[in-house]
Amino acid sequence: MTKNSISTHFSSSTHTTAAAPLSPPAVSTSEVIKGLLNSEMGEDFFRTLPSDIIVDILSRLHTRHAMACKLVCKPWLALLATPEFVNSHISRAIPGLAVKTDSKSYDVIDIVDEFGLDFDEEYHWEPSFNFELPSDEPIHSSAKGLIFQGGVDHGDLILCNPVTRDYIKLPSPRQTTSRDQLAFETFGFGVSRTTDQYKVVRIFLEKPLHGQYENPQHEFKNECQVYTVGTGMWRKVPSPSDSPQRFGHSLAGLLFNGNLHWRVIEKANNEFVERISCLDLETEVFSTFHIPPRPPGIASHCHMTPFVLRDRLCLSHVTDDLVVVIWSMKEYGDDKSWTREVLTGEVFRQLYEVFYACVIKIFENGDILMDWNKKKLFYYSSKTKSCHDLFSREDHNDDICTTLYAPSFLSLKNFALENVSSF
């Protein structure tokens, strides 16, 4: 374990402290509550307690404990499926990072300011809970406990909830031409701000006929389709931009502030520049943000991928001498409000060539959780001034699959016109 110095320079911000994750009980939560129900005091207490108070109590439990409460009695099983409980639980859900550990299996580690990792002793990955998915398709994104999978090499498109263990296989999007003519496609998934509709977005580009695709003067035009969960059908919406835009093949849309965001390359004044393409899920209208220009010393292959940090839309890149630069949009929607923040130190210089760097969390004590090159998930301890691998891939051909995830009890059976299956 090598110790190195690191310096951080960040503007001040307001932090919201989440409740600390509960430690695993010596006996299960359901056994404890069953014991209370079977006692004379407990039976009378819980049977006379108003349901709204029970909902408030149960929604404060950690997800794994709330899941155990479904086994207590049939009234509680029904109670945990009500909109009142689902909405209350979502509002209090502890955010976590889901990391793929096997073909369909994921571990979830809670990301709170009381992360409390102590590297004075050897650290072991301790998930708060784990789950399985119905398919081995990659995760594109997650929103309010629902996970969207699929889309690689025309694979199935699946929306699932690993807590309720139900899923929907979405109908295949209608093609305007054959699949052989499809140049690329990218997806996004999120929830609209006002109507609270869950939507899957597909952006794709088709190759022109008769070899025009090879002509550098050809003007590409992307197309967009939207699937509103519960409608059973895809709709075509206006294209992202009148200007030619090139979307990243493997980058899913980032959900923030009710909008989906993609980094794109756009042609403007006969030059190619980087932009952020933004789709408002409520209005289904696209807009474009300018991003800070690449300064000297930034390799062209280094991805400036959008992510969310401290409730701001952010971008990051890495200089040739492995200084991590973070750009955050101080006022959302104002592309003149980008502010520059940096992470420097010998600790980053111990890492190999980088194409991608994403800061997942900066904790109140100065610790940092970061995804480096999609190959290494590491944790910087401000106490020991050292960097520690939490999860890494020895095979550089295999990426780490992670997604930010907050669990919920929302059942997909609540959506009309969907064929819901269990797994």
Structure confidence by residue, pLDDT tens digits, 186-208: 899 999 999 999 999 999 887 76
Q: Amino acid identity of 144?
A: K
pLDDT confidence tier of residue 286, bands split at 50, 70 and 90: very high
Tell which residue, 406, 238, 258, 247, has the closest CA to residue 332. Answer: 258
Would the pLDDT of 18 be above 50? no
Neighbours of 5 (CB within 10 A): 10
Span 391-410, average pLDDT: 79
The mean pLDDT of 109-135, rounded to a whole number, is 73
- Strands 376-381, 368-372: pairing kind: antiparallel
Q: What gap in Å lies between CA 284 and CA 278, rounded to an integer?
A: 10
What are the tokens at 376? Answer: 């290494």
For residues 136 and 146, the answer to whether their CB atoms sit within 8 Å is: no
DSSP string, 383-415: TTTEEEEEEE-SSTTS---EEEE------GGGS
Mean model confidence pLDDT for the chain = 79
Q: What percent of the chain has pLDDT over 90?
A: 39
For 241, which DSSP code? -
Task: Indicate the pLDDT class of residue 46, thresholds 50, 70 and 90.
Answer: low
Nearest alpha carbon to residue 99 among 409, 413, 421, 374: 374
* pLDDT beyond 50 at 11: no
How far is residue 331 CA from its own chain's centroid?
Answer: 22
Q: Can you give the pLDDT at residue 185?
A: 84
| End-to-end Cα, the chain, rounded Å | 42
Taking CA atoms, 130 is separated from 32, 109, 203, 274, in Å, by 22, 9, 32, 38
Q: Tell me the pLDDT tens digit for each residue of 156-183.
A: 899 999 999 999 999 988 765 566 667 7
**Tell me, what's the pLDDT at 23?**
39
3-state class of 185 per DSSP? strand
Query: Rounded distance, CA 262 to CA 255, Å?
Result: 10
**Per-residue pLDDT, 165:** 95
Residue 84 pLDDT level (bands cut at 50, 70, 90): very high
Q: What is the pLDDT of residues 287-301, one digit of tens each?
A: 999 998 776 655 555
Q: CA–CA separation, 73 vs 78, rounded Å?
A: 9
